[in-house]
Amino acid sequence: MGLGLEESLRLAVAALMQATGDSQRVLAGVLGLTQTQVSRRQSGATSWTLRDVDVLAGHYEIAALDLLAGPTRACEALPAARRRTAGAGKGVAR
């Protein structure tokens, strides 16, 4: 059996964070949450909301359905301009 939607979303968010260099603190600022709340969502202790999905998709400049489709699709949809460049600092707000 494949991944559930929640696990797929957590993996997609983690992959996008890696690809862009965003930290949980950056996502917290984008979402209007605390870093602890983002951590709880990423660990599966708390579920991501549909609002979170919409905001994250906008932040990463991808469609919400691409984000929900999993890490491969989300990273393929990520615009080149949003990707971390070699030597760029981690967690830099954009």
How much is the pLDDT for 85? Answer: 78
The H-or-E segment that residue 63 falls in is none
Q: Are the C-beta atoms of 48 and 58 separated by less than 8 Å?
A: no
Cα distances from 57 to residues 2, 3, 19, 91, in angstroms, run: 23, 20, 14, 18
List Cβ neighbours of 53 (8 Å cut-off, separation of 6 or more).
Answer: 9, 64, 67, 68
For the record, the structure tokens of 22 come out as 């965003």
Q: What is the pLDDT along the chain (94 residues), one digit of tens a residue?
A: 577 999 999 999 999 999 999 999 999 999 999 999 999 999 999 999 999 999 999 999 999 999 999 999 999 999 999 999 755 555 444 4
